[in-house]
Structure 1
Amino acid sequence: MRVVSEPTAGLSYVALSGYALIGRAQAIRAVALSWLFTMLSPAIAAETSFSTVGRFLVLGAAIAAVLLRSRLARGRSETHNFVFATVLLGGGIVIHGLLFSSYPAVSVLKAVSWTATTAAMLAAWLGLGKEARSRLATDLFGGLTLLMVFSLPLLWSPLGYLRNGSGFQGILNHPQVFGPTAALLGAWAIGTLVAQRRPSWAITVLVAACLVLVLLSEARTAGIALVLGVGGAVMMLPMMAGKPVNAIAPGIKSRRFVGLASLAVVGMLAVGPALMDRIESYLAKGTSSDTVVEAYYKSRGDLIVEMWGNIKTDPFRGIGFGVASNSSEMKVQRDPLFGLPVAAPIEKGVMPVAVLEELGAPGLLVVAAWVVVLLRRSGRENVAGLAVTLTALLVNMGEYVLFSTGGMGLLLIILIAWAASAPRARRVPS
């Protein structure tokens, strides 16, 4: 329905909404598919003006499905601590928007949308049994893998580079969407690989493919986030779990992993100059920058300067959640029935600076505390979960999408909710 025509594309969101109401797992699948439906390349699927409203329709159905199956609906008041903390964070942002935002309606509706969606995804994952959770995680991992596989034929077609002619976007609508998606899948795959005592060939090939696809997308932030996210997870997890690396990531010392790493090093030495030229071109991305820092500043420097001007003006109150640095340039899309703002896209990047600008110094501290709890929960002896969460957070150093329920933000919410909902591993006495 999504790819046939514009009328059926609109109806596909309605069908997803009905599917979301069936149960917790179906709600998560429906939200993931709504992200895919919205992010599909116009070369693959018909464009539809109903996508924004349709996305909210799916989110509303998913939230309703989780609420109907919650303990509150059964007359019990118990709520998981992290879900409760997320609701408190969102409630604080709503109050901040009402008091200090230059666009209160935009700030409040964005905050309510993010809070309800994130809390619902966390509650849905936490409400699943062990087998159902594992099965759903396998479905999502397989779905993202298929997305990469279906994109491969477009490597030799102009349709794969439709957005800017150079960065590979596959079957998605932008290289800056495809690159982070490949990076998140790559982090998940690497985490799975090192957790296996004898890594499978399928996972090994997938890791290599993700690395290549991130490079071809020219999404620099995604590539750096993948490297730092996986490296950070391997270094942080032993301290968080209180176990040595060998116990948490036994695959690192497996013969297959060591052999493949050795072959990779030999291959890099063999094609060293050509590879370095490709990496330098990837990091510079069409600029004359000599270093990564210089390239980053040329890409995000103007945004940082504009945000910093607002921070110096009012470092404690902020300008409002989800408000553009130059509010006069905001383009707010409203629904035709009630006139409520349903979309107000902004471009900022550099999440810590953006949060400081929008919520002020007190708001930044509260968000930082929430992120610390998120990392602690993601690092419950699970390399893949912590690697995915770190990669998702580091992606926000170039694209501020963590608090967005549209675009790339929706996939991040689903994956960090999966990582943060991991049960604590049972400790067996020696």
Structure 2
Amino acid sequence: MIVCEVNKRMLIRWLIACAMMLISPYTLLLLIPFFAYNLFTKKYNRLDILLLYFLSYLIFNSLVVLGGLANVRYLLVAIVFTDLLFKKKNRSIRDRILISFLFVFLVYILFNIIFVSFIKEHSFFQYLQFVILMFFTFISTNFNNIKEFKYSFDNVYNLYIIILIMSVFSLLIPSISFGRNGIGFQGITLHPNAFGVFFSGFTALSFILYIYKNKMIDLLFFLVSLTLLFFSQSRTSFLSVILGLGIYFLLTPDFRKKISKSILLIVPTASLFLIIFYEKISIFLFSFLVKNNNSNTIISSIESSRGALIEAQIKNIEENTFFGIGFKVPSSKILQTIDESNIIKYEKGNLFLACIEELGIIGFVLFITIIIFLIFYKNMYNKVFIILPLVLFITTFGESTLFSIGGLGTFIWAMMFLNRKNNYKHI
């Protein structure tokens, strides 16, 4: 069953919210009580609150402009916790199993901090933030009926549409759409990579919806979002779309059956197009993959951008194979600030490498078990939705976002948690 529809009320809601924060991030101070009121009066659900929290991070320059006031967004966390106190719901057996997995993983991280971490105080502070936001994300997607799943899926879908349309119009204002570095497209978001990661899921989703529903609007969304992914120069995001669609093709028999009819038309047309414009396309793709950084090969491009980081990570893994170096510990094992500010310099690329480096093989196995449990299982109610958490998770191969849960990690975890409700047991 395909559940993904345009909803005028949702479109207006997110248009107003995004436009207000884009015009002035201080309008978040107005949006928070408005969303809270609608939550407590049962017009919105907790996912609406979480999405507003995420937008406070995603929208162009919001956190930078707010400065110290940026912490006001944590009121949204408190609002969800307050709502939980007054709206207790029985958890399903599946939830209890997930809670058990998460509990073991979080206890292991605490063990890692106490006995392994090279910088215990820093790791513990990051751990507290991680646990609070993880719980916030979990309960924001915790409901027990398929009706709320439908509402939530439509909600996310309509949010994507609004940000896509606003990002297209932002091309008229290069200081916003290319504001970060003047090269990579970021739309109304804060960074080209953030735009790429966020829209990778929607790009794949639009393609699958077009194959199933054969509506031109879905094809339009796919082509526009794919084009903007190229402009963002986010290699990780573009490759994640391809890999995610490939995995979906292998896992979904009815999708293979549907797309097989289209392949007969698409492959010959695409082949002819590639033959005619081969030289221009190859130059364009090479430029995209090396990110115009004067590298001669794709490998040298990766080495120039993250070669030193990967070497340090591999060395740490070799020296601390089983238990790692500590949760959220920089690869240098030393806390360094950026430009003499109070911001800790912390950069990790591939999530797998980061997880093994920080938590060791044991922590990595626990982590992957949770991911598999959240994304892959039988008896899905909606076979389309899985593409969102799948592609978003694949982006972590290049951007280690799931441990940095205050930003993109919040949205990715939310989509994976939401996927666990994509089940016939909740009808």
Query: Where on the TM-score scale, by shorter chain, does this alignment land: which range?
Result: 0.7 to 0.9
Please state if 1:117 is matched with 2:133: yes
Instruction: Please name the residue that 1:151 is paired with.
Output: 167
> Cα offset for 1:379?
8.5
CA positional deviation for 1:106: 3.3
* 1:141 paired residue number: 157
Matches of 1:49 and 1:401, distance apart in 2? 22
Residue 338 of structure 1 is matched in structure 2 by none
Give yes or no for contact 1:379–1:385 (8 Å, CA) kept in 2.
no
Task: Find the counterpart in structure 2 of residue 305 from structure 1.
Answer: 311
Q: 2:200 aligns with which of 177, 180, 183?
A: 183
Question: 1-side partners of 2:317 and 2:44: how far apart?
Answer: 41
Q: Give 2:302's aligned residue.
A: 296
Question: Is residue 28–residue 62 contact of structure 1 (8 Å, CA) maintained in 2?
Answer: no
Give the equivalent residue in structure 2 for 1:326. 332
Amino acid at match of 2:318: K
Task: Name the residue aligned to 1:252.
Answer: 259
> Which residue number in structure 1 is paired with residue 87 of structure 2?
69
Aligned partners of 1:378 and 1:386 also within 8 Å: no
Find the aligned partners of 1:383 and 1:262 in 2 and give their Cα distance.
28
Q: Given that residues 34 and 58 in structure 1 are in contact (C-alpha distance below 8 angstroms), is that contact kept between their aligned partners in structure 2?
A: yes
Pick aligned residue for 2:55 from 17, 31, 36: 36
Question: Structure 1 residue 175: deviation in Å?
Answer: 0.3
Q: Could you tell me how far 1:228 is from its partner in structure 2?
A: 0.7
Correspondent of 1:86 among 87, 99, 102: 102
**Offset of 1:112 from its aligned partner?**
3.8
**Identical-pair percentage:** 20
Gap runs ≥5 in structure 1: 239-244, 333-340
Hey, what's the Cα distance between the residues in 1 that align with 2:235 and 2:162?
23
CA distance in 2, matches of 1:5, 1:15: 16
1:387 corresponds to which residue? 387
Residue deviations 1:116-169, cap 9 Å, x none? 434454444341421221122112111112101111122243221111111001
The C-alpha deviation readout for 1:237-260, integer Å capped at 9, x for no partner, is 24xxxxxx2x345431455x7545
Whether contact under 8 Å (2:50, 2:140) holds in the other structure is no
| Cα distance in structure 2, aligned partners of 1:312 and 1:216 | 38
Structure 1 residue 45 displacement after superposition? 9.2
Correspondences of 1:29-428 after superposition (within 5 Å): 29-42=48-61, 47-50=65-68, 52-66=70-84, 68-71=86-89, 79-159=95-175, 160-194=177-211, 196=212, 198-235=213-250, 237-238=251-252, 245=253, 247-254=254-261, 259=265, 263-331=269-337, 344=344, 346-377=346-377, 380=380, 382-424=382-424
Alpha carbons of structure 1 residues 19 and 48: separation in structure 2 relative to 1, 3 Å: farther
Q: Which runs of 5+ in 2 are unaligned?
A: 1-19
- 1:26 maps to which residue? 45
Once the two structures are superposed, what CA deviation does each residue of 1:153-195 show, in whole Å capped at 9, x if it has no partner? 222432211111110011111101111112121122233334x
Instruction: Provide the alpha-carbon RMSD of the alignment.
Output: 3.2
Give the residue type in structure 2 aligned to 1:27: R
DSSP-derived class of the 2:65 partner: coil
| Greater RCO structure (CA 8 Å; 6+ sep) | 2
Question: d(CA) in 1 for partners of 2:304 and 2:110?
Answer: 34
Within 2, Cα distance between the matches of 1:365 and 1:153? 44
77-86 or 184-193, larger mean C-alpha shift: 77-86
Cα deviation, 1:217-271, whole Å, max 9, x if unaligned, reads 0011111111111111211x24xxxxxx2x345431455x754565444444443
Distance 1:157 1:8 in 2: 21
2:3 corresponding residue in structure 1: none
Deviation at 1:35, TM superposition (A): 1.4
Q: Counterpart in 2 of 1:337?
A: none
Scaled by the length of structure 1, the TM-score of the pair is 0.82
Alpha-carbon distance in 2 for matches of 1:413, 1:49:
26
- Tell me, yes or no, if the aligned pair for 1:23 and 1:65 is still in contact at 8 Å: no
* Structure 1 residues 58-89: Cα deviation after superposition (integer angstroms, max 9, x where no partner): 223224434643447x9x99943223322331
Q: Distance in 2 between matches of 1:201 and 1:425?
A: 33
Q: Which of 289-298 and 13-22 deviates more?
A: 13-22
- Residue 8 of structure 2 aligns with which residue? none
Which residue identity is paired with 2:286?
E
**Does the Cα contact within 8 Å between 1:27 and 1:66 map onto a contact in 2?**
no
Matched, 1:2 2:18: no
Partner AA of 1:274 in structure 2 = K
Give the secondary-structure state (helix, strand or coil) at the position aligned to 2:45. Answer: helix
Deviation at 1:113, TM superposition (A): 3.5
Q: CA deviation at 1:384?
A: 3.2
Instruction: Evaluate the alpha carbon distance shift between residue 67 and residue 392 of structure 1 in structure 2; reply closer, same or farther with a 3 A threshold.
Output: farther
